[in-house]
Amino acid sequence: MGRRLNTTRFGVLLAAVGLVLLAAGPAQAARFGLADDAGKYADDGGDAFLADARALGTSEVRVTVVWDPLRPDTILEQSFLDRSLPVAKERGIGVVFHVFPIQASAITAVPDAADGFAEFLEQLATTYPQVRQYVIGNEPNQPRFWRPQFTASGKPRAAATYLDLLAKSYDALKSVDRGIRVIGLGLSGRGNDSPFARSNASTSPVRFLRDLGAAYRASGRALPIMDELGIHPYPRTDRDSVLAGDRWPRAGVANLGRIKQALWDAFAGTGQPTVESGLRLRIDEIGWQVAVPKGRRAAYHGRETSSVTTEPAQASNYAKLIALAACDSSISAVYLLHLRDDANLERFQSGLRRADGSARPSYAAVRKAVAAAKRGCAGKRTMWHHATGVIGRRVDFRLGSGAQSRLRRSWGFTVTAGEEASYTGAIFPAASASASVRSLATTGAPGAVAVASGRVRAGWKPRVRFPAGFLEPGRYVYAVRLRASMNSRRTSVLVSRAFVVR
């Protein structure tokens, strides 16, 4: 597998500088770029492509570099990179390497593959010292790019195996140049968390980050594993607005706070910084597919397989996305997928130009939005701080104004949350409610006359039902403790006003 990576040599040095490299500094405006290999493959080395990209306001282009474990020391497309990188430098556009294995199971199925991948990164960084940003992996929470996602018994596996790759990649790149930025994951915003699904058994981004943090803590590692987190917050469908978001535990652009919280839950107090301690998010791939106008159909072939949006809607979404990023200091960059459409309708038509080269309305909209973003935030700034309780918690006790009859057999209330949580509900005598509620927050429900427990799915409103029976006459309170499934340290206790039973 080539020369063995010596991570021990750099361990002390990285321990000393790792946190300094990621310390929070003055916020920088989000950069705009493209996720597009068209320039890499162009006969002119990408000169025309890069000139067009530069006219948009593009400062960076993300290009793919695929690693083959059967040819671990071979840069598969070196001739294309040798030709295109000097052109990018002349055009003043930075190149970001997006490096991932050629097969989804390459790392997990081949012995010592993670070491071989890390050695390949050293080779790349030495061969192309002008490239100082690396995205490691591609959507490791999706089986198309990382397998297996789960064990045979259905337990999560992908995050733990990916952690090993990312940690070794981080150490390898920093051993060549401590200034190289390591962007982790390229996380998909989707995932079904269904290990036995007939197809696409995948992991949601929130749960993947939880598993990644658990594996990191279990490893005993004290160094960071990434300088930024890459994410692909595609819309649920191309017809959705950028503001629509997605359901927990998935995440669209409107739900990036959900990703920030998941990072905090996973890594707070460890050697890996979170958003509040300097980590930034990079939207390193996103796009909205567009219906091809009838007059431009001759430039395409095949059959459309997606539910596409309109050209004006795409333009609006791209402009809003760039404006949102300009107002969120935790976003380092936004890369749109493709400058120009793929002519095959079974692939992606998210370009700012159609397949025949004509400009869509989004071309002018993006150019205008990027120019405005460079002047700073024109709207409301995004402010975020981690939650310590359960997010979106609400309880409807429905007590009414009169006394309750002791003959009533059904006692309970409804509860909801913006994330998955467990609950313990209780009925306490009002006279001892203060001490009892304190105990509920920490240990259990001593002194309760009735207790019920269960789970709240995000956005659902289950009824907390207590065992059937009569309550003796007196004054009581309902209380419920909610505990976040993604972080058991985050709890919330809610208490009703006192109600009378006659």
For residue 433 the two structure tokens come to 């409610």
CA distance 164 to 114: 7
Q: Which residues pair with 100 in a beta bridge?
A: 66
Domain 8-374, what architecture? Alpha-Beta Barrel (3.20)
- Give the pLDDT of residue 18: 41
Q: Report domain extents, the chain.
A: 8-374, 394-501
- Give the pLDDT of residue 313: 98
CA distance 480 to 184: 38
In tens, the pLDDT along 419-453 reads 999 999 999 999 888 888 888 877 778 889 999 99
DSSP 125-169: HHH-TT--EEEESS-TTSTTTSS-SB-TTS-B-HHHHHHHHHHHH
DSSP 387-398: -SS-TT-EEE--
Distances (CA, A) of 309 to 184, 185, 369: 30, 28, 20
- Give the pLDDT of residue 440: 85
394-501: same fold as 8-374?
A: no
- Give the pLDDT of residue 27: 52
CA distance 459 to 418: 5
Q: Which of 205, 165, 168 is nearest to 186 (CA)?
A: 205
For residue 51, the number of C-alpha atoms closer than 13 Å in the C-beta half-sphere is 5
Spans of the chain, pLDDT less than 70: 1-28, 400-402, 407
The pTM (predicted TM-score) of the whole model is 0.92
CB 346 within 8 A of CB 305: yes
**pLDDT over 90 percentage in the chain:** 86
- Give the pLDDT of residue 434: 85
- Give the pLDDT of residue 4: 40
Type and span of the H or E element at 477? strand 474-484
**b or e along 122-158 (b: 16 or more beta carbons within 10 Å of the residue's beta carbon)?**
bbbbeebeebbbbbbbbbbbbbebbbbbbeeeeebbb
Pairing of strands 133-136, 181-188: parallel
CA distance 502 to 487: 41
Angle at which helix 78-91 crosses helix 47-56, to 10 degrees, equals 40
Angle at which helix 361-374 crosses helix 47-56, to 10 degrees, equals 60
CB 499 within 8 A of CB 399: yes
- Give the pLDDT of residue 410: 81
Q: Which of 18, 460, 459 is nearest to 222 (CA)?
A: 18
CA distance 286 to 301: 23
CA distance 76 to 264: 37
* Domain 394-501: CATH class, spelled out: mainly beta
